[in-house]
Amino acid sequence: MEDRKRRQNSTDGIPAKKSEGAYEYMSGFGNEFASECLPGALPEGQNNPQRCPYGLYAEQLSGTAFTAPRETNKRTWLYRIRPSVKHYPFQEEESGNYTNNFDNSPVTPKQLRWKPFDLPTAGGVDFVKGLHTVGGAGDPCTRYGAAIHIYSCNSSMGNRAFYNADGDMLIVPQLGTLFITTEMGRMEVAPNEICVIQQGIRFKVDVVGPSRGYILEVWGNHFVLPYLGPIGANGLANPRDFLTPVSWYEDLETEHTIVAKFQGKLFTAKQDHSPFDVVAWHGNYAPYKYNLKNFMVINATAFDHADPSIFTVLTCPGHMAGTALCDFVIFPPRWAVQDHTFRPPYYHRNCMSEFMGLIYGNYEAKEGEFMPGGASLHSMMTPHGPDEKCFTGASNAELKPVRVADNTQSFMFESCLSLKPTTWGLKTCEKVDDDYWKCWQNLPKLFNPNQK
């Protein structure tokens, strides 16, 4: 396989390319990118010439309606060796534990916590075969909803490629680095990094050993950076730290299998060539990655505990202004300096659903109990908060500046939807911690009407 590198282009004359090992990226969030492997492969001054350079085919990939406002319109032009329409008919395939149908899912308002999800015990489990749905809500057919999945795999996808016709996928590796090939280029995504692969983009995942992580799938909108409001122009996840791959292609005339997720089901189609044959592309609809260590933390410095929305990396807007279909929030290493304040997360009942995962380390409100590779779900209006050990310690701690969450990275998928766990999530996986509720039972009664 020959590694094809792009000729650098930039709108302001300053190269935006960044190299990480064998992988190269362009910097920025939602930019109008342009990338080519061969000089002059991008048509000049138009998108769809009568004959494309090098005998390529022009193909547009639309991520929004043609008539979406310009500030939200998403599309990319691909210049490829063969058009993606060249494949044999699709056939339905067994979807396993991967689903978007929550009509018959169990319903429970109780606090849920999962022990670390299992890694495969048999060989040959690739990224798609290793998808398991924990829960979700909504319907991809009506274009509004979300699902949360675990991937657990130990094998590369080889000559298989996947695309999601229903929505975008935000992938959070927890164990093992993912080597992702997409139509626009290649990405290396390690634990403590994330990537987003949008609706319709074909990709495959290679791994070098047992790998596990979390996926947030959204239908109906795309992820954007949150508004900063009075924070100002800088802070949280800065646009320049998002990386989009440069163009890369392979010209292979061997059988490949395309796995399509459509209306919550999986379908496969054979074709006689690699789908990763895009020699050049330009547009603003392309996958990207982000390193969570680059998040610029903003926190309370005088008193009280800031709401967790201050840690939002990406948000997928919902129908109601200011209310997310889904937020991706992290709780990174930081300083805690507040005076006369209970510093850990406060006790809470929320009109949103909160799904948490732990990439590595110890989560401050549940140290030693909430494990990397596990998860928790606190549903709408279900009470949650620090356990007795955390409460007692924080209530009596000396309030000096201290480091919080060093060597730890936890995150939250927060949604306005009332998420329903799947049968796999509640029963089949056999990872639900049935004793989770007990962590609050030793909270003492401290009330004394005679002592303020």
Write the pLDDT tens digit of every residue in 378-417: 999 999 999 999 999 999 999 999 999 999 999 999 999 9
Grouping H, G, I as helix, E, B as strand and the rest as coil, residue 378 is strand
149 is catalytic: no
Choose the catalytic residue: 93, 273, 305, 388: 305
Whether 378 is a known active-site residue: answer yes
Distances (CA, A) of 292 to 132, 187, 418: 24, 15, 27
Gyration radius of the chain's alpha carbons:
23
pLDDT of residue 4: 42
The identity of residue 104, as a single letter, is N
Q: How far is CA 61 from CA 74, 167, 200, 201, 306, in A?
A: 9, 14, 8, 8, 40
354 catalytic per annotation: yes
Q: Catalytic one among 59, 183, 384, 414?
A: 384
Q: Is 305 among the residues known to form the active site?
A: yes
Banded pLDDT at 20 (limits 50, 70, 90): low
Q: Give how far Cα 204 sits from Cα of 38, 54, 162, 187, Å.
A: 23, 26, 6, 11
How far is CA 295 from its chain centroid? 15
Is 61's pLDDT higher than 90? Answer: yes
pLDDT higher than threshold 70 for residue 3: no
pLDDT of residue 22: 79
| Calpha distance 164→200 (Å, rounded) | 5
Among 263-267, 365-369, 448-452, the range with the most confident prediction by mean pLDDT is 263-267
Active-site position among 36, 354, 369, 414? 354
What is the reported pTM?
A: 0.95
CA atoms of 285 and 184, how far apart (whole Å) = 10
Averaged pLDDT for residues 272-276: 98
Identify whether 384 is a catalytic site residue.
Answer: yes
Helix boundaries (H) for 315-357: none
* Confidence check: pLDDT of 430 > 80: yes
Task: Tell me how far apart the alpha carbons of residues 70 and 88 are, in angstroms, rounded to a whole number.
Answer: 36
